[in-house]
Structure 1
């Protein structure tokens, strides 16, 4: 499944399971319970270092680490939900960690991560924000303000926004070079490497508050 295929599938899932009739994003936990028939528990802290969420496929149960912030619980709940939606026939249990783990299937975890991120922060909406914000971002301080505004808007952490910008770095390059959003190619990091594409993310460019770089003038100069 390519990134484009995945995002198409997520758009259908977002509409079916996670959106209200007005297309607003529902409570992820409530949607899991009422629309997917899952039980979601987050009342106990996990003892295993780095373990953040567990999907028990046969029990229709999601467990989330109680130590997580509400924003991170939303993400991991969505992540585990997509294991049920996409991967129920692969394994009976999914253990999801902060970082890669030897017991995980990297490809399935990539799908669940990208699906959760696309559900919480749809790429076309974030690209529209980048497009609208570009004339006002001239340095690292402006970029950090953009991060904070985006995190508040989507109800996620700054780290989640940064991760999303990393994931969408090639799409952002195309956008700033003048490509219409509907014509942007969605390529995963693996696909980019296969095609010999090397670009920098906004996070790499605005490494600190002292960086002076007008975003509106970047265009294809974002290419490494």
Structure 2
């Protein structure tokens, strides 16, 4: 049986948050400000390398692990980058890799799966799906439009203290789970599947990011159109 890597990742993120004395569904976290308490050396400097967002280094005890952030990025971007590097430190010690240099785009020298875990893990850390999805449903209702989705992105960015691009990332990577919630599945019973796992099951779901200017999506009609697929949920 295929391992559910997204479900396991979210479980690992909850474990990391508990270790850091956060509740698993806590949000609005300014991680950069909190880092003095975690025994990890955090420093922000102006990187010269183009596209370099953050760096993490796993140290040998008793030396502390190190996270470096780029002061050329906004405070919200640095907050998310800090979460990304935290995921590397918390999840990837077993890989034998001691340093992680993280860029705007995954490079040939990086492991795409480890970078997916760090990105998706940071997104779940700051924007817990069990809080985000019901909030989306309440704000957007059954007839989301391009305009209301953009307003929701701005609201969620402020609420969860992450860049707007992270909210767009959540809309894309949680589209299957969002659809489940819309058909009445409890947020604690959602099936968590990565994009690759969804595609292997033949699940191709439209993201709310894809709405064009002036377009309105009737969620009830859309769900009916996907009726055959929904029978498999």
Q: Given the two structures, how large is their TM-score scaled by the length of structure 1? A: 0.89
The count of aligned residue pairs is 220
Q: Report which stretch shifted further, 1-10 or 128-137.
A: 128-137
For residues 105-126 of structure 1, give each alpha carbon's deviation from its aligned partner in whole angstroms, at most 9, with x where no partner exists. Answer: 1111111111111010001101
Is the CA contact (8 Å cut-off) linking 2:27 and 2:160 kept in structure 1? no
Is the CA contact (8 Å cut-off) linking 2:55 and 2:99 kept in structure 1? yes
Aligned to 2:193: 187
1:222 shift after superposition: 6.4
Aligned to 1:39: 41
1:137 shift after superposition: 4.6
For residues 107-154 of structure 1, give each alpha carbon's deviation from its aligned partner in whole angstroms, at most 9, with x where no partner exists. Answer: 111111111110100011011112212327542111111111111111
Aligned to 1:5: 8
Is the CA contact (8 Å cut-off) linking 1:54 and 1:64 kept in structure 2? yes
Question: For 1:23 and 1:194, how far apart are their aligned partners in 2?
Answer: 32
Question: For 1:18 and 1:220, how far apart are their aligned partners in 2?
Answer: 43
Superposition map of 1:1-224 within 5 A: 2-17=5-20, 19=22, 23=26, 26-35=29-38, 37-42=39-44, 44-58=45-59, 60-90=65-95, 91-135=97-141, 137-204=143-210, 206-208=211-213, 210-215=214-219, 218-219=222-223, 221=225
Q: Report which stretch shifted further, 127-136 or 187-196.
A: 127-136
Is the CA contact (8 Å cut-off) linking 1:3 and 1:187 kept in structure 2? yes
Q: 1:135 to 1:49 in 2, by over 3 A?
A: same
Unaligned residue ranges in structure 1 (runs of 5+): none
1:23 shift after superposition: 4.9
Provide the aligned C-alpha RMSD in A: 2.4
Q: Report which stretch shifted further, 185-194 or 8-17.
A: 8-17
Question: For 2:26 and 2:146, how far apart are their aligned partners in 1?
Answer: 33
Is the CA contact (8 Å cut-off) linking 1:165 and 1:201 kept in structure 2? yes
Is the CA contact (8 Å cut-off) linking 1:200 and 1:222 kept in structure 2? no
Q: Given the two structures, how large is their TM-score scaled by the length of structure 2? A: 0.86
Secondary structure at the aligned position of 2:55 is classed as strand
Question: For 1:221 and 1:69, how far apart are their aligned partners in 2?
Answer: 41
Question: For 1:18 and 1:74, how far apart are their aligned partners in 2?
Answer: 17
Q: 1:95 to 1:195 in 2, by over 3 A?
A: same
